[in-house]
């Protein structure tokens, strides 16, 4: 249930209505926007008579929210959420441009890629240190050493870092060192992990599971938000379909749908969607044109020898050309880059 206050409602009005809600055993979530103040009621509202609130002189209207997600729901928060990733704004009018290798392989490798990507316009650096690989015989990532390399490259370039957390064992380490904590497709419904992210101060990049519906994906975000961390960015990365030519199928429709259903920023990872480097450019452009709040793209200085996902990685020079084109699209749709 959502209670919208009249424009002239005072702070005392807000406190009074809030107390009425709390007396009925519910929690509140207040959004004071530039246009209006909204009180989201959290808990079992099925037995609450909305007329109790409608008669209050400060209340404009009472609306029932059908969806099972509340905090992530756009009805609770009509304005776009803007997430601050160590000074880089994601959402609203800005584009997050995350680039870097699939996996951290060495300091020199990450530094070279980061410098090139930054010169092209990237504002966040990605790189996997702990890798979720399908085969236990594949390269599993450099682990803590890889994270240290990312931190050193951040120091050298000033780019905030994005990297995947797989295990609750590393929560505190990531909270201390990582600017944007990535939760991968394979862990999107690892509910214990999601609950623990709620106690961190860092924003979370939540990738869509290969077979997750929109509602399941938003409910995963709701887990993190309900546990206390509302700084969640969603990332579409392709879903499994019957088509086997591409690695996954990029669901472009998810961008307008998620932006309609939630207030959270929605970015796109075209690299893991198509699995082929030459699909990255058209899908990245389509994503921005469809309203994405950013792109996460794998860039490698020597894709032929990459330890992971070379086939879908762009060379720095191709990334540079792509960002020039993205800039033109961003301008047309009114995003800053």
The site for Mn ion (CB under 5 A) is made up of 102, 309
Q: With binding defined as CB under 6 A, does residue 185 bind ligand PEP?
A: yes
CB of 312 to Mn ion, least distance (A): 7
Q: Which x/- pattern over 127-166 shows residues binding ligand PEP (rule: CB under 6 A)?
A: -x---x-------------------------------x--
Which residues, 6+ apart, have CB-to-CB distance to 55 below 8 Å? none
How many chain residues bind ligand PEP (CB under 6 A)?
Answer: 10
- Partner touching 177 among ligand PEP, Mn ion, none, CB below 5 to 8 Å by kind: none
CB of 309 to Mn ion, least distance (A): 4
SS3 54: helix
Helices (H) and strands (E) in the chain, counts: 11, 14
Complex with ligand PEP: residue 132 or 158, whichever CB lies closer: 132
H helix intervals, the chain: 11-23, 51-54, 107-120, 144-157, 171-177, 191-197, 214-226, 254-261, 270-274, 277-289, 316-333
- Partner touching 146 among ligand PEP, Mn ion, none, CB below 5 to 8 Å by kind: none
- Partner touching 202 among Mn ion, ligand PEP, none, CB below 5 to 8 Å by kind: none
Complex with Mn ion: residue 305 or 333, whichever CB lies closer: 305
CB of 131 to Mn ion, least distance (A): 8
288, 322 Cβ separation under 8 angstroms: no
Cross-strand partners of 89? 84
Complex with ligand PEP: residue 184 or 316, whichever CB lies closer: 184
Cross-strand partners of 83? 90
The correct pick among 77, 259, 263, 272 for binding ligand PEP (CB under 6 A) is: 272
Burial 259-293 (b: 16+ CB within 10 A, else e): bebbbbbbbbbbbbbbbebebbbebbbbbbebebb
Q: By CB under 6 A, what part of segment 17-36 binds ligand PEP?
A: none
Q: What residues make contact with ligand PEP under the rule CB under 6 A?
A: 102, 128, 132, 164, 184-186, 207, 237, 272
């Amino acid at each position: 249930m959502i209670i919208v206050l009249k424009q002239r409602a005072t702070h005392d009005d807000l406190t009074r209505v809030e107390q009425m809600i709390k007396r009925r055993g519910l929690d509140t979530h207040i959004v004071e926007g530039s246009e209006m103040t909204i009180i989201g009621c959290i808990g079992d509202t099925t037995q609450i008579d909305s007329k109790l609130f409608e008669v209050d002189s400060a209340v404009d209207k009472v609306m029932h929210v059908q969806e099972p997600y509340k905090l992530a729901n756009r009805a609770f928060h009509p304005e776009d959420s803007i997430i601050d990733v160590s000074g880089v704004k994601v959402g609203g009018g800005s584009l997050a441009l995350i680039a870097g290798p699939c996996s951290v392989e060495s300091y020199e490798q990450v530094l070279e890629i980061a410098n090139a990507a930054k010169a092209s316009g990237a504002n966040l650096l990605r790189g996997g240190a702990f890798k979720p690989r399908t085969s236990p015989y594949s390269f599993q990532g450099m682990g803590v050493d890889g994270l240290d390399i990312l931190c050193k490259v951040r120091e050298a370039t000033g780019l905030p870092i994005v990297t995947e957390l797989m295990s609750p064992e590393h929560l505190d380490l990531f909270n201390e060192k990582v600017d944007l904590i990535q939760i991968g497709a394979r862990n999107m419904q690892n509910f214990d992990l999601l609950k623990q992210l709620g106690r961190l101060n860092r924003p979370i990049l939540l990738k869509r599971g290969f077979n997750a519906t929109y509602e399941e994906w938003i409910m995963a975000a709701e887990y993190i938000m309900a546990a206390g961390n509302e700084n969640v960015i969603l990332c579409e990365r392709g879903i499994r379909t019957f088509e086997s030519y591409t690695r996954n199928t990029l669901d472009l429709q998810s961008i307008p749908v998620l932006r309609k259903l939630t207030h959270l920023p929605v970015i796109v990872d075209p690299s893991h969607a198509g699995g082929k480097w030459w699909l990255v450019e058209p899908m990245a452009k389509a994503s921005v044109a469809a309203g994405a709040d950013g792109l996460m793209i794998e860039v490698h200085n020597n894709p032929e020898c990459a330890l992971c996902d070379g086939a879908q990685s762009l060379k720095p020079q191709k990334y540079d050309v792509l960002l020039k084109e993205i800039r033109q699209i961003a301008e047309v749709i009114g995003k800053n880059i």
